[in-house]
Every structure is written in structure tokens, then in C-alpha cells.
Structure 1
Amino acid sequence: MSTHDDNAPKEAKRRGFLKAGGVAGLAAALGAASGGTQAAAKPSHAPDARDPMAAAEPFFGEHQGGIVTPQQSHAYVATFDLKTEKRDELVQLLRDWTAAAAKLTRGAALEDYGQTGDDAVPADSGEALGIGPAGLTITFGFGPGIFTHEGKDRYGLAARRPAALVDLPRFNGDQLLPEKSGGDLFVQACANDTQVAFHAVRQLAKMGYGILQMRWGQAGFMSSARGQTPRNLMGFKDGTNNPSTQDRSLMNQFVWARDEGSAWMNGGTYTVVRRIRITLEHWDRMERGFQEQVVGRHKLSGAPIGKQHEHDPVDLTATDKDGNPQIPENSHVRLSNAASNNGAQILRRAYSYNDSTNFYIERWPPWRQETEYDAGLLFIAHQRDPRTGFIPINEKLSKLDMMNQFTTHVGSGIFACPPGAREGSFIGAGLFEV
């Protein structure tokens, strides 16, 4: 007998249920489950050997930070609605944000506290003083509303909207909340300290007072032993088979925008954000064998069902002793696999979230009405083109994935994240050049 005890088949009645098909919506989100047909390279979230609080990531560069950067332990994501109708005010805001982000990612405050008088309003709220840069990255993106808003071309940018920045369709099972969806401007702050990440977004929001207002914000976290793939709240390793961020050819193929018709986006990426609540109370009552077949991986090792090691290639042709697919037909791994989606891949950079509790009416048996955890996955996916990445993958998952009985998509957004800024310029400058 193998020392790997996850392989024994569990409950024929569960296997029959798996073959029946699901009906609600899930993105290629719980990347723990996502599997490719090849062994994955070193995960992109491998820890830095340096002191994580002293680590500093450059802000200026060819690409924005926080996309292929080794994943930090905390994130704060926010979107904003623009209130100004003046293009010049929007450009100035982006200039100010660029200068501030360059300081914050170095661990610097936005003012010299020793030179500030008691009668002045501080430019920096001060709660991150002395903590260090903590590997902070700040990523900016533009939502569809920056190009047209209620049918109006507010800033003369409508003709420059990239074809790849499409409005996401409504997926089967979506229960999207307006207060958790959309936004004209997207800000993602990731750091090795939760206060540093929140502090960054807080300063940027303050700088936009009168020009914009926050639409929604969400804190996220991930934890793992050093050098290991982190686990999501379902207990499975998350992100095992991401395309390697160390492979430039893969990043150019699947992540960085190049020839999709908008030159100002070359070197940028298209980011899909989904807030996915997980009914943990329901999931926690499921047998481990059933959980593994829903996901398509062994819970302890992270290996594909039937394999021994996390990065073993997924074999979609393998069958069990009864001739049934070893990886169930409606498992998350099979349905999200590149081989099942015409080779499509996306770069997942997800975080768990826990927002205490709330009152819910469940949409799956036993249809309970009770206070439950408001917890789940802040799914973030970067890709070269959502029309060939997230959208077709999620269309399939939303209809067939058996994980849907435990998850509900309650928030959504899509954003064009431009290439990195050059020193002396500002983020998204190419969009505003005539």
C-alpha cells in the first residue's frame, strides 16, 4: 500500500452525484483545483529569503508590480467611481497617485512628519510609520466606466477603449451585488503586512477626495509554510498549476497584452476580480473523499487524484478499476484544465477573505436561513484577453462544476491594467496621449 492514503475511492453514491452535473456559477477561481497537463514550475508565490518587512518592490518598470510579483501575504483591493467630469483632473489624479505609489512602495511616508506643524492636516495618516515597505506593490486599472458612463464619453476616451475590455456576461448562478461590483478605477495593494496594504489604499483614496468616491473595498490574506503552495478556506492548495511567472514566453502568451488593437495597453494585462462566498458550513460537513472528487485533487498532498505529488501532471484519460474517469467529469480540475479549454490559461492571484458573519438564505439543500460566515475567495485573474481566457473557462464552470453547490459569486469587475509607468511619467499615460 502506498504511504499516500488519499487515493482510496470514496462512496459510490457521491461518484454518481458528481456525474450528474452542476447548475450554478463558479469561476476558474479556486485555483487550488486548477490543473494543467504539464508539471508546474516553481510557484509564483515562493517566499523571498529576505526579511519580508524590509523587502521593497520597484514601482516603475516595464510592467506593473503585483501581477507576476511573488505573491505577498495580504491584499487590499478597492474600486472607485469618478465624480469629476474634467479630463485634466483625472490626469492630475493619476500623476499624483503615481508619485505617491512610488514613495509608498519604498516604505516612505507621504510627508516628513518632523516638518509638519500641529495646525496642518497630515498628508499621510501615519499608521504605517516604521513598519517598512513590506514588499508593497500597487497595481492600477481602468474599468469600462472610464471610457463611457451612462452613454456619455466624459473624458474623450471612448474610441480608445480596448476591444478586450468587454463587459462580462451574466454567468449561470451569479448573484452579484452592485455594492461589491464594478468601478471606474481599480487599485490593488499587496504587501507582507495587512496594515501596509490598507494604508496604501487609504492614502490614495484621500488624495482623490472630491474627484472620486470609493465603490467597494475588500481585504484578503493567504498563508502557507515557507516554500509551499498556500491553501484556501476549503483546505486545498490554491494555484498549483498557474503558468510559471518565470517563463517569459508563457507570460507573453497568456498574460501580457500585445496585439489586441490598443497600443497603449501593450505590456499591460486584463484583470478579472470576483468575490466568491463559500458556504463553509456546508463544505465542512462533506467527507474528505467527496471533497477531493469535487476538486479533483488530494487534499493533503495537492496531487491530482491518482497521483502522489502536487506538481504531477494531470491525467484526464486515467480510469479507475470500474472504468470510470479517475478525475471525475464534473470536477473543478477537469473543467478548468487547459486541455478542456482549447489550451486557454489565466494567471490566478487569489486571496482568501473573512468578513465575519451575515444572515443568508442558501440556494442549495437544505436551503437553510441562518447566520453564516461571510468568507470565501477574492479571485483575481490576469490574462492577455478575457474573451479567450476567463470568459469561456467560466462559462463551462458555471454550468457544470460540482464546486458550485458550495460557492456563490457575489461581486465582479473587469479592468484594463496598463503597462508599468516610466519615471517622470504616470500610470496609464499612453491612454491620454493624442
Structure 2
Amino acid sequence: MSSPDNEPGETVRGRSGFSRRKLLGAAGVGAAVAGAAGAGVVTGRASAADSSTAQLQLPVPFRGDRQAGIVTPAQDRMHFAAFDVTTEDRDAVVQMLREWTQMAERMARGEETTEGGAVGLNPYAPPTDTGEALGLPASQLTLTIGFGPSFFGTETRPRFGLRGQRPALLQDLPKFPNETMDPARSGGDICIQACANDPQVAVHAVRNLARVAFGTAAVRYSQLGFGRTSSTTRDQSTPRNLFGFKDGTNNVKAEDTDVLDKQVWVAAGDGPDWLTGGSYLIARRIRMRIEQWDRTTLLEQERVIGRTKGSGAPIGLADEFEPLNLDAVTSDGEPLIDPLAHVRLAAPERNHGAEMLRRGYNFTDGTDGFGHLDAGLFFIAFVRNPEKQFIPIQAELARQDLLNEYITHTGSAVFAVPPGVPDGDDGAYWGSTLFG
């Protein structure tokens, strides 16, 4: 299982190939440090000689019962991409998925997509690796794949011979209030979530998968993210979103195995057999009205969220991790946490115990042309049942949340995430449980 139980420090070496880590070592650690001192440390990168960040550079095992990138400790950077499949040739899709799997496993080890690919074994042909990650460590790269509703076609016109294999729960999300959806930033046949502690490593991974998909699939949209907005293990501190508040304090953690089984992993009998052990990925691009928020008083910001901005503690309490007390009142009998505060409406106590494993990221995409930052949260969550978990919670938030004055949702997608590629099965690939 690809999880914190599989320590990233347990290096999974390739059977052959030109390792990015080997290349860095060959150049000499001393030279790398001298170069960094002369040119300045690149933002988001960790020096190979810095022992305090060494763990952040190591590989995460690609194979396992579950896909990496779900309960894996959340990395600092993300490149998310959705693809449209441009062919109706089943064999071509399977071949692409096989090639993607081979490449993903190599890149997760810190290697090129093919042996000697970046330098080019044939100078008269394009290199088989784009090369921008040469010399960079694995940076805990994880690659996670999912299949959208459109990948399966419709009941009357199924695609790729997958009639009857589409899970009943895999449906486009309904329309919610407070949305300004951009169809070009929504949906998709296939998604790839690339997370790493170096942005260039994540971008390199998606770029190379898109490169070899030419003629079979094309990028529909992509999103770069920085500054994770959740912690997925108890060892990680709670990060902050662009509103300056700690985000994901009560997120499901990798150590909560019973909760994961109940809330995240698809169980036998939940749907078609091919998805057993997988999950559902929900992605939402949330635009934050940064300028409006920045002119709001601190007291109002804390009332909207339901937590203090400094410590992250629930209103009226001192510690971030103290449980929400939704019954607490002031001396005047008024609720300490506003009835429409974000944390109250999203609390499992108000949603029949429903929880989600969140892996969101901040983003800034320039401006909107009117002097406002196009910035916000790229929300990603993994759930066992979108109908019972995400949809009712989002419906409640969209209807009443005080935060709606400061945000709008501009993109939406849902994907079925298959189980992992088993260790020791050379014939397995991303989606092999689906295609058989």
C-alpha cells in the first residue's frame, strides 16, 4: 500500500536507467552547493546537501494496493491535468495507459521516462524525455490517475467496450448555487494528479505523459498549485490557504485506517469490481475574492470561518485541535460559532458523520483583467461515495455558508480512481482492472 507505512526513504531503485539522483551525484554535491550559493536558491527546491530536507527529495513507492498520492504525505506542489481521449480505438487507449504506467513508475523513482531518453539515443529523432528534470531528485513525486464519466460514454453509445463498467456513482456533479462554471475548466475523460516537492518535477511528469498521448488523448485543462492546503498525516503541520487561515485541521489522516475504510476506499459491493480498493476524486476550482477579503475586519473574518486566524482554534477555545463545540454560547446565550460559519456547516456532526480526505492546493493565475488577482483554492477530495459525502455537504455550504460572499466555484470534475498497480505483476497497468 502506498502510504506513510511505506516509508519514502525506502528507495525503490530502477532495474536500469539513468537516474536523476545519480546524475546529481555524478556532478558532485560540492559543485551543486557552490552553484546554489552563487546563483541563489531556487524557490521551491531543496538542496541535495541539506540534510533537513533530504526526506522531501526521496522517492515514494509507485506500486501498491492503493495508488500513491492519496494518503501519501501531502507534498508542497501540484500539477493537475484533465485529458480528453481523442480516439475510439480501445487498443490505442490501453497502449497509452501501459506506456503511462511504465513512465510514471520510472519518474517516481527519479529516473527519465526511458533509459537515456533526455540525451537522445538517436540524434535524428526527438528525445524520449523532455529533460527539464535532469539532475533533480525524485522529490516524493506521486502520480494518480482517474477516469471521468465521459470516458465511459453513455448507455446507448458506450466507449471502448466498457458498457456496464461505469459506476452508478460516477456522475457529473449537480449545479450548485454560487457557481460561475467554465466548461473549459470542467470535466475530462482522464485526470492525472502529479504532486511533488519541486514544481519542475511535477510539471515534467505531466508534460511527458501529455507528449506520448499525442494522437490518443489531449490536455483539456491543467492547474498548477502551490502550498498544500491540507495535511494528510499526523506528522504534518496544518497549512494555510490564501485567506490566511489554517485549512484542513480536521482532515482525515493516513493513520485513521478505520475512517479511511469507511470514508475513502471503495469496498467490495459498492460498485463494479474493477473499482474495489479505489476511490472517487472530486476537483473544484474555487476563485477567492482576495481584495474583498483583505478589506474585511479580523473579527468578521473569524466569524465567517468559525476559527481564530492566529492559532486556528475554534472560536472560544485556545488549541487548534480542540474539538468543535457547536453548542457553546456566549454569556448572552448567542452561539460562539456563528450558525452559518463555514466550520459549523461543514462539520461531520451536521452531515451524518460524512468526512472527506482533502488534498487541495493554493493557486494564482495572474489577474482577471480588472485589477483583481485570479487566485484561490484548487480543492481536491477523495471519497468513497460522492452522493453521500461531497454532494450534500457542498449543497449545504452553497446555500448558507457565510464564506460565499468571498468565493465562487469556477471549475468542477469527478473521477473514479482505480486501485493501485500491484507489486510484482508486470502485466498490470493503470486501469488494468477496468480493461481486464
User: TM-score range with shorter-chain normalisation?
Assistant: 0.7 to 0.9
Q: How many residues of Structure 1 are paired with residues of Structure 2 in the alignment?
A: 376
Instruction: Choose from 156, 165, 169 the match for 2:170.
Output: 165
Aligned to 1:116: 121
d(CA) in 1 for partners of 2:326, 2:56: 42
Specify the alignment match of 1:391 in structure 2.
391
Moved more, 252-261 or 141-150: 141-150
Q: 1:270 aligns with which of 266, 270, 280?
A: 280
| In structure 1, C-alpha distance between the alignment counterparts of 2:152 and 2:236, rounded to whole Å | 42
**What is the aligned partner in structure 1 of residue 313 from structure 2?**
303
| Identity in percent | 45
On the 8 A contact 2:104/2:113 being kept in 1, the answer is no
Displacement of 1:151: 5.5
Could you tell me whether the CA contact under 8 Å between 1:52 and 1:192 is conserved in 2? no
- The alpha-carbon distance between structure 1 residues 281 and 221, as it changes in their structure 2 partners (threshold 3 A), is same
Quote the residue 2:333 is aligned against.
323
Q: Which residue of 2 aligns with 1:126?
A: 131
Counterpart in the other structure of 2:43:
none
Rounded to whole Å, the distance in 2 between the matches of 1:148 and 1:158 is 8
- Once the two structures are superposed, what CA deviation does each residue of 1:305-332 show, in whole Å capped at 9, x if it has no partner? 1110110000000001211111100000
8 A Cα contact 2:168 2:271, kept in partner? yes
C-alpha distance in 1 between matches for 2:341 and 2:435: 45
Q: Is the 8 A contact 2:283 2:379 kept in 1?
A: yes
From 230, 242, 245, the counterpart of 1:236: 245
Q: Note if 1:176 corresponds to 2:181.
A: yes
Question: Over the residues paired in the alignment, what is the CA RMSD in angstroms?
Answer: 1.7
Whether the aligned pair in 1 keeps the contact of 2:83 and 2:220 (CA below 8 Å) is: yes
Deviation larger for 420-429 or 178-187:
420-429
Take 1:335 and 1:103, find their aligned partners in 2: how far apart are those partners? 43
Q: Distance in 2 between matches of 1:209 and 1:151?
A: 28
Instruction: Measure, in 2, the Cα distance between the counterparts of 1:428 and 1:210.
Output: 19
Alignment map for 1:240-251 (pairs within 5 Å): 240-251=249-260
Preserved CA contact (<8 Å) 2:195 2:202: yes
Determine helix, strand or coil for the equivalent of 1:274: strand
Structure 1: give runs of 5+ residues left out of the alignment: 1-47, 360-369
Equivalent residue number for residue 271 of structure 2: 261
Q: 1:16 maps to what in 2? A: none
TM-score, with normalisation over the residues of structure 2?
0.84
User: Contact 2:120/2:127 (CA < 8 Å) preserved in 1?
Assistant: no
Q: Could you tell me how far apart the structure 2 residues matched to 1:214 and 1:194 are?
A: 19
1:180-219 alpha-carbon deviations (Å, 9 max, x no partner) = 1010000000000000001000000001001111100000
Normalization by structure 1: what TM-score?
A: 0.84
Q: Contact 1:146–1:157 at 8 Å: present in 2 too?
A: no
Rounded to whole Å, the distance in 1 between the matches of 2:286 and 2:398 is 12
Answering whether residue 117 of structure 2 is matched by residue 107 of structure 1, we say no
Q: Shift in Å at residue 223 of structure 1?
A: 6.0
Deviation at 1:244, TM superposition (A): 2.1
Does structure 2 retain, via aligned residues, the 8 Å contact 1:53–1:132?
Answer: no
Q: Letter of the aligned partner of 1:255 in structure 2?
A: V
Given that residues 228 and 362 in structure 2 are in contact (C-alpha distance below 8 angstroms), is that contact kept between their aligned partners in structure 1?
no
2-side partners of 1:129 and 1:300: how far apart? 40
- Whether the aligned pair in 1 keeps the contact of 2:71 and 2:253 (CA below 8 Å) is no
Gaps of 5+ in 2: 1-50
Alignment check: 8 A CA contact 1:163 1:260 kept: no
Q: Does 1:217 align with 2:222?
A: yes
Establish whether residue 139 from structure 1 lines up as the match of residue 139 from structure 2: no
